[in-house]
Structure 1
């Protein structure tokens, strides 16, 4: 199949010619190998035992083969990272190395950070604009630039279409499969995490069923900041033998290291006016399809309201999964604009904004996500509060919906169907 360009390709087009080494990081299956392979002459795939053995026997292989060189799954032999770092110190030629890793190195591992030599970038599953469904008409980068640009465009997608996108997954190798095959493939993906990925990355799994139950409960807490104790309780309902706190902390640490958990951190303003904000992250799996599959709920079930939500007294679980789908895309677009994504919630819970995008110029776009085609004054009250609080620092405010039309309300809030939002 022909390679499908990703949003991150535009970033690589811009920066790889000026950098000696870039590491693409992200969960297995997001497309790192396909993307990196487009830009190199030599590929060293360390998940191939023969290539791993050859490189382990001769680390200098990375500088002896023809550049640019792509080292795939470099974390399977961490010394290669330091060898590339030293190669960059010795000859900082541009566009020389690409690395891909599906796990961060464990804390305490004797691997140099690579700061100043190897630039890290995170790859995530396919954003909506990468799924070839609808041509986006609203650019997040333009919204961050300020000036409240004109908003327009129409989308044919409806709620069932977005539900289908949730269960189809953003993993390129999974989404093209038929329903039952796709479900079995996601099951296999989770099995591999529990049985192979975590043990290979330093975690001993003594109770695989307990880990799967915790992962399912975490998925049920999608788009909430539920306390981890509540997630444990949901995972062990009716079970007196609960995992120890240290065990649960190990689940979280290692699942984040292999990018399966992808929480949105609480936004901390770089300036003064907003105080007493929560510091608790919002829970998200790398792809909402995993959460749906772990819960045993298909597209029809989601549309019928099935699925138990953990850690939220209002809203539906489908609404939470739609927020996760939107968050997945916003993070891809924000990274392309060199911006960060967080969420805002006041300590007294009286104010909440689903997503805050902030660029290096401290310009902010506030985003609410709504599983509906219409937007009321109540839906935008927190965005308008944020506008009053931040003033000129708020570049724009938008509500992401499932509706057919993009437009700007009289109060300045941009209403944008998820399919029409792009980088």
Structure 2
């Protein structure tokens, strides 16, 4: 096992353990949940250990409290293999009446009927994602989002990530095991991940057998519609255009399963108060949890991406959304997108718990900056600032070389310069 690269989730986990009796870390397989949880744990139970799984399951069925014995915080890895552990943890937390007792990790959201109690007030949830460019040390972190919220002044920075490198980073993804790997091996790993999702993971999540061909066709359709508000009907029609007939309920159930194993994560729409009565679009934008999944399922490579800048643009936007989500988590905020019926939009809106907000447009090249800045200013002007407050900042997230503040007040920040 290689060197552990510190994660933003490390500090989030530390705070959660101080506040709750137990913490559930959820996120996609291979995103580093177990390794991160192990850094904080004093004892560990690996439910997937093939040498011990049978005895663990037997203990869980007879006396689950036996599996909870060990120094705290005790890590219960892939706890959903024995769902009774959830209620056992909740009960034990009540009995001990102390914080920081257990860490649970899981790569799938269990069915609602698997746990008899939600765990509210006892088990807090922490969403873990694949690594951002700052965590993988590909971003130099010269521009801090927190600084932009707290003290937005002139800024400067130089992007260390070339366009060629950017294509490689998108294809590699933020999977911890691939950081520092040969690019071809990293791409192969994501293909293996996609194959596992299609042939095993998606059926295991609810024990309903699914057609691998239909799953692959759906994932390809999502990839083709990445960073758009494509409806389930649109995805269904797109699949049928690829000679894969599928019913609307099946599309819906497959999407739900992909969401439960953290393969897809749509970006919800922001619903602010506006100055005018312009109706808002409420559809989410389609995204995989990591853009490398789209690359793998489409069967393209980093080199191919450099020859198709239209596709590159959508993939870059998805990469930006992944990183912004990780950084929003670090700041205790949430990420949305905005679009109204006139077509006015913002690719990302970062909203903090105290109500402060910032709008972001994603543009790879400088030739689009003027239009993007004009769009951001128009968007900010449409918000009812008496109710929502003024934006803390407006930013164009780019793949260009320099970070700076434009004369109109809009910031241009390369993704390779950004950190929380």
How would you bin the TM-score normalised by the shorter chain? Answer: over 0.9
Instruction: Tell me the secondary structure at the aligned position of residue 194 of structure 2.
Output: helix
Q: How does 1:226-375 map to 2 (within 5 A)?
A: 226-237=230-241, 239=243, 242-269=245-272, 271=273, 273=275, 275-305=278-308, 316-349=310-343, 351-373=344-366
**Contact 2:363 2:369 (8 Å CA) reproduced:** no
| Further displaced range: 62-71 or 218-227 | 62-71
Instruction: Tell me the secondary structure at the aligned position of residue 157 of structure 2.
Output: coil
C-alpha deviation, 1:15, in angstroms? 3.7
2:208 is aligned to 204
Structure 2 distance, partners of 1:382, 1:141, is 23
C-alpha deviation, 1:227, in angstroms? 2.1
So what's the TM-score if we normalise by structure 1?
A: 0.92
Q: How does 1:140-179 map to 2 (within 5 A)?
A: 140-145=145-150, 147-179=151-183
1:389 is aligned to 382
* Structure 2 counterpart of 1:416, from 408, 413, 416: 413
Judging changes above 3 Å, is the alpha-carbon distance between structure 1 residues 272 and 368 closer, same or farther for their aligned structure 2 residues? closer
Counting matched residue pairs gives 410
C-alpha deviation, 1:347, in angstroms? 2.3
After superposition, give the CA deviation of every residue in 1:354-407 in whole Å (9 maximum; x if it has no partner): 001101111111011111145532121221023223444311110100111111
Judging changes above 3 Å, is the alpha-carbon distance between structure 1 residues 189 and 238 closer, same or farther for their aligned structure 2 residues? closer
1:53 is aligned to 54
Gaps of 5+ in 2: none
Structure 1 distance, partners of 2:98, 2:55, is 24
Instruction: Tell me the secondary structure at the aligned position of residue 221 of structure 2.
Output: helix
C-alpha deviation, 1:222, in angstroms? 0.7
* Structure 2 counterpart of 1:139, from 133, 137, 144: 144
C-alpha deviation, 1:289, in angstroms? 1.0
2:395 is aligned to 398
2:14 is aligned to 13
1:106 is aligned to 111
C-alpha deviation, 1:50, in angstroms? 4.2
1:24 is aligned to 25
After superposition, give the CA deviation of every residue in 1:187-210 in whole Å (9 maximum; x if it has no partner): 221121122212221142342111
**Contact 2:47 2:76 (8 Å CA) reproduced:** yes
Structure 1 ranges of 4+ moved more than 6 A: none
C-alpha deviation, 1:35, in angstroms? 0.4
Instruction: Tell me the secondary structure at the aligned position of residue 322 of structure 2.
Output: helix
**Contact 2:16 2:23 (8 Å CA) reproduced:** no
Gaps of 5+ in 1: 307-315
So what's the TM-score if we normalise by structure 2?
A: 0.92
Structure 2 distance, partners of 1:43, 1:273, is 54
Judging changes above 3 Å, is the alpha-carbon distance between structure 1 residues 111 and 373 closer, same or farther for their aligned structure 2 residues? farther
Q: How does 1:55-134 map to 2 (within 5 A)?
A: 55-56=56-57, 57=59, 58-134=63-139
Structure 2 distance, partners of 1:341, 1:276, is 21
C-alpha deviation, 1:229, in angstroms? 2.1
**Contact 1:170 1:287 (8 Å CA) reproduced:** yes
| Further displaced range: 159-168 or 201-210 | 201-210
**Contact 2:133 2:416 (8 Å CA) reproduced:** yes
